[in-house]
Amino acid sequence: MSTTAELFEGRPIIPVVVIDDAEAAQPLADALSEGGLPCAEVTLRTAAALDAVRVLAARSGMLVGAGSVCTADQVERAVDAGARFIVSPGFSDAVLARCRELDVPVLPGVATATEIMRALDAGVQVVKVFPAGTLGGPDGVRGLVAPFPSLRVVPTGGIGAADLPAYLGVPAVLAVGGSWMVSPALIRARQFDEVARLTGEAVTIARGWRS
């Protein structure tokens, strides 16, 4: 099993997708790949999410995970659909245990130092900081993780392209999760050319910052 850090290494941005229609998954995959970012976290917030995971997972070269996972049952269904990593909004012992049983990397969400300590006690070395925007942005993330030098984080929530350099400038940040390039409005309107453009723009910013 790859670790979470190994999966995300070289992928500084994780598109966070809310999708209402699984038929949009294939052109979405095309747009993300065209933009240079064949990766997606599909949140389990809609009835179409698991079908979208199946479509994306079937595409060669696409790294697909499931987000907003809150129960062990959701872990099983997401992995059955082809998810290669699991993201939860908070820290759940049940979600963590099922992911370990199924040998799938998990990215639990944290918002406090106490939650980080829980994660570290459980052997988790990479966490999602959520919602990063309302937790003080890049400076808030930097302050939150300062006491934990071994920790790697993926800030998510309230992040846009203009925020990338500041977040990626935090040494503990492994990758940044964002939805601006795959907003539900763009997907519903089938504006996949714009998805590809925004994705490419984000990749250029991230590579320029970390090169």
Known catalytic residues are 41, 128
Q: Which amino acid is at 147?
A: P
Neighbouring-strand partners of residue 155: 129
Q: Residue 25's Cα: distance from chain center in Å?
A: 17
DSSP 8-state class, residue 100: H
The string of DSSP codes covering 8-48 is: HTT--EEEEE--S-GGGHHHHHHHHHHTT--EEEEETTSTT
Angstrom distance (rounded) from CA 173 to CA 199: 19
Residues 78 and 86 sit within 8 Å (Cβ to Cβ): yes
Length of the chain as a residue count: 211
Q: Residue 198's Cα: distance from chain center in Å?
A: 17
